[in-house]
Amino acid sequence: MNESSRLWKDMLGRTLYRAVAMATLAFVLAPLVVVVWASFFSNKILSFPPQGYTTDWFIRAWQQDVFRQGFLLSLQLGVMATLWSLLLGVPAALALARYNFPGREAINAILMAPMMVPGIVAGAAVYIFFIEVEIRTEIPLVGSLPGLSIAHVLIGLPWTVRLVTASMVGVDRQIEEAALSLGANPLVTFFKVTLPLVRPGIVAGAMFSFIVSFIDLEKSLFLVGPGRVTLPIAIVNYLEWNLDSTIAAVATMQILVIAAALLVSDRYFKLSRSF
């Protein structure tokens, strides 16, 4: 084989590799782009190409109780999951990052378990458990706000623990010791020294807790009830029977909420650097 045909082959190979890489990127982004695009079509029946553009579908989506309530419920659950994950997860992360005690690895594994157990299996187990508790105590859990909240805290907790622990490991303990030896009490030291140092981890943990709670499908699927359906479940239920620009508008609303969460947290930590 002569030199020039080798060079041709190498160039062809390089072009092919770039083409596959870019095609893969387009493939991953395609459904999002298309769903946002379709939410502005003026066609009565969703089809391509569009005959014109309108924002009516967003108004129609908001007028449907199941989507409006679903949107607000998912927002509420997301905020609740974030706050409780921080309240429980930040102290746990501190303990895991700072102290060396027997069974530390096991405790860490327990706290990561909600992320590891498949959603559909965990959802089924929690559903059965809640109904058993309901039968014995008559406290309604399935289809109730407390029941959904517990499940969503469980969804957010491992993310908070993991991201806060990771950010704590890099913090020099001597900075805190310096503050203490200069007369700051432990409480002041925690809020004025420790917290600012681990803030990127806390913001990242909060953001991920909110997002994984907001988009959750499998666990929520078992626990929603009449009049209390989260946004992703409302989307899935609707898609089982219909496909139109209304649902594209609802999906676009979910995209906007998550984009907003990403933008808000962008000031404190860089998403692309956490991978």
Partner 1 sequence: MTSFVALSHGGRSSDTARAAPLLTAAVLLVIVFLFLPLAIMFRFSLNKFVPGQFMVEALVLENYQKFISDEFYRGVLYTTIRVALVSTILSLIFGFPLAYMIARARSARTKNILILLVVIPLLMGNAVRTAGWMVLLGDRGVVNMLLQMVSLTTEPIKILYTETAVLIGIVAVLLPYMIITLYSIIEGIDRVYEEAASSLGARPSEVMRLVIVPMAMPGVYVGSAICFILAMNAYATPVLIGGPEFHMMGPKVYEQITKVSNWPFGSALAFVLTAVTAVLTILSSITVQRRYGRM
DSSP 44-104: SS--SS-S-B-SHHHHHHHHSHHHHHHHHHHHHHHHHHHHHHHHHHHHHHHHHHH---TTH
In the list 52, 101, 135, 267, the residue contacting partner 1 (rule: CB under 8 A) is 101
Can the peptide bond before residue 49 be classed as cis, meaning omega within 30 degrees of 0? yes
User: Terminal CA-to-CA distance of the chain, rounded, Å?
Assistant: 43
Q: Which amino acid is at 266?
A: D
In the list 75, 107, 145, 197, the residue contacting partner 1 (rule: CB under 8 A) is 107
Q: Find tokens 């419920």 and name the residue.
A: 73
In the list 113, 178, 260, 264, the residue contacting partner 1 (rule: CB under 8 A) is 113
Which residue number, 79 or 255, has a Cβ lying nearer to partner 1?
A: 255
For residues 215 and 232, give the distance between their C-alpha atoms in angstroms, rounded to a whole number. Answer: 6
Q: Find tokens 């890489």 and name the residue.
A: 21
Which residue number, 118 or 138, has a Cβ lying nearer to partner 1?
A: 118
Q: Which stretch binds partner 1 (CB under 8 A): 75-83, 162-170, 198-206, 250-258?
A: 250-258
> Phi and psi dihedrals of 102, rounded to 5?
-60, 140
Q: Which stretch binds partner 1 (CB under 8 A): 51-59, 162-170, 196-204, 266-274?
A: 266-274
Q: How far is the CB of 160 from partner 1 (least distance, A)?
A: 9
Contact 166, 91 (CB under 8 A): no
Q: Alpha-carbon torsion 77, 78, 80, 84, what sign? A: positive
**Scanning residues 53 to 82, which ones bind partner 1 (CB under 8 A)?**
none
**Scanning residues 144 to 183, which ones bind partner 1 (CB under 8 A)?**
150-151, 153-154, 157, 161, 173, 176-177, 180
DSSP 181-205: HTT--HHHHIIIIIHHHHHHHHHHH
20 interacts with partner 1 by CB under 8 A: yes
Give 273's DSSP letter.
G
100 interacts with partner 1 by CB under 8 A: yes
In the stretch 197-226, what mask flags binding to partner 1 with x, by CB under 8 A? --------------x--xx-xx--xx----
Q: How far is the CB of 66 from partner 1 (least distance, A)?
A: 13
Q: How far is the CB of 233 from partner 1 (least distance, A)?
A: 8
Q: How far is the CB of 141 from partner 1 (least distance, A)?
A: 10
Which residue number, 121 or 264, has a Cβ lying nearer to partner 1?
A: 121
189 interacts with partner 1 by CB under 8 A: yes
135 interacts with partner 1 by CB under 8 A: no
194 interacts with partner 1 by CB under 8 A: yes
CA 250 centroid distance within chain: 18
